[in-house]
Amino acid sequence: MTLDDFPGLPAFPPGEVWLVGAGPGDPRLLTVLALHALSKADDIVHDALVDSRILPLARRGAELIAAGKRGGQPSSPQSDINEVLIGRARLGRRVVRLKGGDPFVFGRGWDEVSALTEAGIRFRIVPGLTSGLTAAALAGIPATSRDTNHAVVLAAGHRAEDERSIADWAALARLGQPIVLYMPMTRLAGITAALQQGGLSADTPAALIQGATTAEEKVVDSTLASLAADAARHGIGSPCIVVIGAIAALRSQLLASLVPWR
């Protein structure tokens, strides 16, 4: 069976934009529908965090357009990205907007579909494996377990450190549920201090997961109070997922039997 034989794959009409989640990195974690989109697209407008191994899966002749957004680095303004998507679609092109993780989990997907809707451009959402939960799972950290938690918080870590954000982190600490941080590295020390200010114990288990599913992958077990220091000690940088809570400690119970996912 080839991809074209896979049952139920939708047509990709000219003039549509598909927002496609590329997952955390490794091409094997793409969905079938994402592969289908890449095989049909005329234009692929991709983020900086999309793994370089994924772009060669595009249809031969497809135009690759870099439109990355990375904190602290030169980035394409969101308005410019919106204009590219709308302009290409109006030319009758099949456009894929390719994003790391999932388009609707800290991926600015809402910004783009709002602009497309206002412009009268039809679009499709192709979900991807969100990086936070996938990185944790592959490292041996379950998002939930009956013994530890009944909820999990996904939080963006790149907000400015001001009185409001400090209060918000303190409120999250009081929930008593594990927190998975996306894009936290530039604010990690402030976030961990605010969580402790909110009552989360300094010795709460935690883990740093850098570059999940890529050649740069590194996992460091830590505690809430030691996260920033451990990140510096081990040279952990972006992209990185941070897991804080009792679920992080479960990893040690699994490592002896956990088969490396690769």
Which residues carry out catalysis? 47, 69, 183
Of 31, 35, 46, which Cα lies nearest the Cα of 12?
35
Structure tokens that stand for 193 in this block: 């201090």
**What is the side-by-side strand order in the sheet with 179-182?**
153-156, 179-182, 240-244, 205-210, 218-223
Structure tokens that stand for 96 in this block: 């894929």
Give the sign of the dihedral formed by CA 76, CA 213, CA 180, CA 242.
Answer: negative
Of 118, 136, 100, which Cα lies nearest the Cα of 22?
100
Q: Cα-flanking dihedrals φ and ψ of residue 49, to 5°?
A: -85, 0
Of 172, 187, 231, 186, which Cα lies nearest the Cα of 206?
231
∠ CA 142-145-146, nearest 5°, is 175
Structure tokens that stand for 3 in this block: 């991809």
Q: Is the peptide bond prior to 239 cis by the omega test (within 30 degrees of 0)? A: yes
